[in-house]
Structure 1
């Protein structure tokens, strides 16, 4: 049976991804910073809760120990992400940038490398990084795409970094399938439920990458319609 860890799985896209993967037969670790919320989500879904603060080395190390003791890991889904302050560009300072990049980018480095030994021991080793079309140069420069109408420098730059990190990790760790998923404009708390897609549609690309059984391409960027432009 495939064992999967999803960070930030107590709500929204992470929660729906967990629900769908449990339904598909995965054993799913519900990773969450808040113990009460994470435990509640795990009980509702039939998953396992593991406390993990992706911005904290010690917390991540403890999570690795727990998952390892329970038998290992096949799929890691780096789902945690924050938009940062909703403010004009001139109001977003260095401290804001540090917070956004620490959560959205540095945490992927921290968590992926921490779980690397467990992934390398799996015949289905897979990493899915949840990125965004808002980090796609093609989309933000194309007036036909909604991403081009939004100016969110820190969030968008961080998601471009996530996609590039995915490509580079795919080269560095060829024994693991490492890909990036764009949920698309989905109705979640993230955007005050303004997106036209359902949360299920928003998890299509994530679930697709997580259920390939360790096979298929690596270093790609996809959305629910197929390969997406960088």
Structure 2
């Protein structure tokens, strides 16, 4: 049975991804910073809660030890992320930048460092990094795409970094399948429920990558329609 860990799994895209992967037969660790909300979410779905704050070395290291003691890991879904302040570009500060990058980018590096030993022991070692189309240079320059209308310097650039991290980790660890998924404009608390896609539609690309059984290409960037432009 495939064992999967999802960060930020107590709500939104993470929660729906957990639901769908449990339905597909995975054993799912549902990571969340808040223990009460995380346990409630895991109990509601039949997943297993693990306390996990991707901005904390000690939290991530403890989670890795917990997962290792339970038998290992096959799939890591790096879903946790924050939008940062909804502010004018001139009002953004260095502290804002450190907070957004600390979760969205450094958090992935922290997770990879801690969980790589487990993933490399698996016959189907897989990493899915949840990125965003707003970090795509192709979409940002396409006036036909909604992503081209977004002006959020910190969040968008952090997701560009996530996509490049994906490519670089895929090159560094060719024995794993490491890919990036763009959920698209999905209705979540993240965008104040303004997205035009359902949660199921928003998790299509994530679930697709997480259920390939360690096969297929690596270092790619997809959305629910297929390959997305970098």
What's the TM-score bracket when you normalise by the shorter of the two chains? over 0.9
> Whole-Å Cα distance in 2 between the matches of residues 207 and 176 of structure 1?
17
TM-score between both structures, scaled by the size of structure 2: 1.00
**1:133-172 matches, cutoff 5 A:** 133-172=133-172
Q: Does 1:180 align with 2:180?
A: yes
Residue 191 of structure 1, CA deviation: 0.7
Q: Does 1:17 align with 2:17?
A: yes
Residue 120 of structure 1, CA deviation: 0.5
> Whole-Å Cα distance in 2 between the matches of residues 193 and 141 of structure 1?
25
> Whole-Å Cα distance in 2 between the matches of residues 89 and 4 of structure 1?
37
Gaps of 5+ in 2: none
| Aligned structure 1 segments of 4 or more residues deviating by more than 4 angstroms | none
> Whole-Å Cα distance in 2 between the matches of residues 32 and 192 of structure 1?
20
> Whole-Å Cα distance in 1 between the matches of residues 213 and 15 of structure 2?
21
> Whole-Å Cα distance in 1 between the matches of residues 118 and 190 of structure 2?
31
Quote the residue 2:122 is aligned against: 122
Determine helix, strand or coil for the equivalent of 2:77.
Answer: strand
Residue 160 of structure 1, CA deviation: 0.2
Determine helix, strand or coil for the equivalent of 1:86.
Answer: coil
Quote the residue 1:98 is aligned against: 98
Determine helix, strand or coil for the equivalent of 1:203.
Answer: helix
Q: 1:75-99: CA deviations, max 9, x gaps?
A: 0000001000000000001110010
Residue 112 of structure 1, CA deviation: 1.0
Gaps of 5+ in 1: none
Residue 113 of structure 1, CA deviation: 1.3
